[in-house]
Amino acid sequence: MKRSYDFHRVRSHRPYTIATLAALLGVDKRTVRRWIESDRLDVAIVEHSRPVILLGSKVKAWGTARQRAKKQPCAYGEIYCVRCKTPRRIKPDSFLIVQPNQSKLTVKGECCRCDLTLNRFGSPANRAALEAEFGPKRPDNPAA
Ligand SMILES: [Zn+2]
């Protein structure tokens, strides 16, 4: 199931039929109809039109507000877990920093609930802050 849609592709000044909107967002026409029936996308409909015409500006506003409402920002020390579908802390003993080159690094750690490896990408300039945020200091390469 697709969880986010690219509503930035919807043009504000254009009208859309259910079929053209579905094709633009890469969803089935029934998905757009379900949004209309259940989610107040009806404010975007030009009344009494056949076929149903949706106003691009209102579809775009509805879609971006919907996406924003679904966001789950991580608190300090949390990384989003795609398996748990919520921000989680990492196990302190699994904390690891991997730096593949001069310009980027990755904080790795296991989810405290499901053991999935979580990644947080960052900059070497923020390394000290990331170490303070995510756990006890460990060497980059445990084998060394
Ligand atoms: Zn998890």
Neighbours of 116 (CB within 10 A): 13
Centroid of ligand 1 to alpha carbon of 108 (angstroms): 13
Tokens coding 45: 């409909």
**How high does pLDDT run on average in the chain?**
86
Centroid of ligand 1 to alpha carbon of 31 (angstroms): 29
pTM: 0.61
Centroid of ligand 1 to alpha carbon of 69 (angstroms): 21
CATH 3.90.220 fits 7-70, yes or no: no
Dump pLDDT digits (tens) for 116-131.
999 999 999 999 899 8
Centroid of ligand 1 to alpha carbon of 100 (angstroms): 25
The one-letter code for the residue type at 116 is: L
Centroid of ligand 1 to alpha carbon of 104 (angstroms): 24
